[in-house]
Amino acid sequence: MIIRQEYLDRIQPFIGKPVIKAVTGLRRVGKSVFIRQIINQLKQNGIAEKNIVYVDIESLEFDFIRTYQDLNRYVLEQTAGIEGKIYVFIDEIQDISEWERTVASWSGQPDRYDVTITGSNSTMFSGQLSTKLTGRYIEFPIYPLSLREFRDFFPEFSDNEKLFDNYLRYGGLPGLRILDELRDETVLPFLRSIHDTIVLKDIVARRNIRNTSLLADICRFTYDNISKPLTASSISAYLKNQKISVTVPSVINYLTGLVDSQLFYKAYRFDLKGKRQLEINNKYYAADLGLRHSQIGYRSSDISYLMENLVYLELLRCFDQVYTGEIGKWEVDFVALKNAKPHYFQVTMNLAEPAVIERETRSLLAIQDNFPKTIITYDKIHGDGIAGIEVVNLIDFLLEAY
């Protein structure tokens, strides 16, 4: 079992503290293994096994737990007569009806219960739990493997170019490690089955969607347009041109389902001049490029869009908030905030021509502050920075924790 140390380091200060730990992320992104790593760490630190309760809602062993009453009853039965703090771990908790009622009850008994839950729905904390637990829970998102982690999972790729090529093509789901070899004939069917599971469990069933064919069309169109401004109206117009009748509200519903399931992330646009978030020209990025390629294929001609997608995911791992930006009529690919301080990024294939350099630097130079500005390029060799703007190679950027 490969330790995902960055996530363990992030959650460790909150273990044993009176706050609910909410681990979220795409299905098959490694949340269950991560939970087991936390449990192993607790045992190594002297916590008795009898003081740890682990419930995996996707396991038939726990099929009888359907409601919040079932969950509460089971934990009480397992811990009856046991002294000391009880460490409760509930995996994929969103499948339990009204689960937030039991979790809220446990949060009111911090001397008795330390609670960690996982879920595959990005909005699982936007309802009653958010109201009941204001200030008493912290969300820990888990993402597909970074290129750094991918290197740990696949040490056979000692050459960084080979490592990156496989990462770009097959994505970063940890389950890839069970395959004997990374090649299209084995990886793509494996990823298609994962994608089908996510669509059926987290979108079709949860949102009671009947027109699965339309959902598939919208999903493929969104995959085909990662890193581009996208609206429900533009999707509806495209589908109508394909003789597929659909309303804008239906598209919004399906797009929301794709984002809630965490197959996609929606990046909001930020006006750097007006200092405000915009509701137009938002972009969608695939949570995992391997899942994308399992649906629409891998096309080397998409490399500039794939680069931007990879950079966005890396910024999500390293920063608190990530927006796409604009200043006047020019784009800033990403505005990433950490501790409320911005870092600005442009992503480009190369800086070979003066016109390209001018295009990629003008928006950054127009920003009137002294916060860091970086251009990320696919160029293997680059010179010094440009007018105070750092220039880095894409692979180097992805391999160095920011």
Span 197-217, average pLDDT:
91
- Asked if 193 and 179 count as a contact pair (C-beta separation under 8 A), the reply is no
Tell me what pLDDT residue 281 has.
81
Q: Is the predicted pLDDT of residue 271 greater than 60, yes or no?
A: yes
DSSP 343-400: EEEEEES---SHHHHHHHHHHHHT--S-S-EEEEE--SS--S-BTTBEEEEHHHHHHS
Q: What percent of the chain has pLDDT over 90?
A: 81
Q: Indicate the Cα dihedral angle 258, 261, 264, 269, nearest 10°.
A: 90
- Which numeric CATH code is attached to 5-141? 3.40.50.300
Domain definitions of the chain by residue range: 5-141, 147-399
DSSP 80-131: TT--S-EEEEEESGGGSBTHHHHHHHHHT-TTTEEEEEEES-TTTTSSHHHH
Tell me what pLDDT residue 383 has.
64
Tell me what pLDDT residue 295 has.
97
Note the pLDDT tens digit of each residue in 283-332.
999 999 999 999 999 999 999 999 999 999 999 999 999 999 999 899 99
Span 102-117, average pLDDT:
94
Residue 375 sits at φ, ψ, to 5 deg, of: -105, 125
Beta bridge partners of 346: 375
DSSP 17: S
